[in-house]
Structure 1
Amino acid sequence: MKSTITIDVELDQNRVPENIEWRATESTTEGAQKAKAVMLSLWDGTDKTALRIDLWTQEMMIDEMADFYYQTLMTMADTFSRATRQAELVDEMKNFAKSFYTKFREQQMKEQKAG
């Protein structure tokens, strides 16, 4: 069995993503789905390095980026838990994610009051 995930990125004249769409052969959704951002990490077992692609459109708002990072950090912790069963480290990762998000929200509130 084979599954294919396709990510299409339309770039503007400065090579900045204008539109991101993705589709998967195993998806129940018909057609491409829009996304404002994508993070893709691949592990190169030979070189023991992580390869990353991080893209976002100009439509991606700062608060959406913070939500995206918070949710990504939380799901990374869940994945690490399933892979390793290292509960203490998972708790640390989740606590960091919560702290990050709390600090972001506090900073946003300060900026709104100052503005």
Structure 2
Amino acid sequence: MKSSEIRFKIELDDQNYPDKIFWNASDGASEGLEEAKAITMSIWDHFRKETLRIDLWGKDMPVDEMKRFYIDTIGGLATSLRNATNDEFMASEMEKLCDTLVKHVQAEEEQQKKK
């Protein structure tokens, strides 16, 4: 059986906040660690019937990029949900939420330009 390993390396500042985030996958296209600005990971605990979450972002992650990161994450979850369960209603509702959030972020960007 083939296996793959995903590795994360987090550099912390003196107060233990993430400063830099690096990752690689053993069967990925690039060799060595690549820098990332944020990670969000969800793991289903079958025994507790709950989701364990890890959310990390580096100190230099801009707020506007963080918002787009979460919109992309929700959109990706919608696609995964559709593929895994064939639940068109839930996937479509998540995509509608993404559309609403994109409009919200765009409106915020327009407001910032006016200042």
TM range (shorter): over 0.9
The correspondence of residues 1-115 of structure 1 with structure 2, limited to 5 A, is: 1-113=2-114, 115=115
Tell me how far apart the structure 1 counterparts of residues 38 and 60 of structure 2 sit (CA, whole Å): 9
1:79-110 superposed Cα distances (whole Å, 9 cap, x missing partner): 00011101122111101011012112212322
* Percent of paired sites with the same residue: 32
Spell out, residue by residue over 1:46-98, the C-alpha distance to the aligned partner (whole angstroms, 9 max, x if none): 00010001000111001111111111111000000011101122111101011
Cα deviation, 1:16-37, whole Å, max 9, x if unaligned, reads 1111000111112111111000
Matched to 1:66, the amino acid is K
Q: C-alpha displacement at 1:112, in angstroms?
A: 3.3
* Cα distance between partner residues in 1 of 2:90 and 2:5: 32
In structure 2, give the amino acid aligned to 1:17.
P
The residue identity in structure 1 corresponding to 2:54 is I
Secondary structure of 1:65's aligned partner: helix
Paired AA for residue 61 in structure 1: P
Runs ≥4 residues deviating over 4 A? none
Q: For the aligned residues, what is the CA RMSD?
A: 1.0
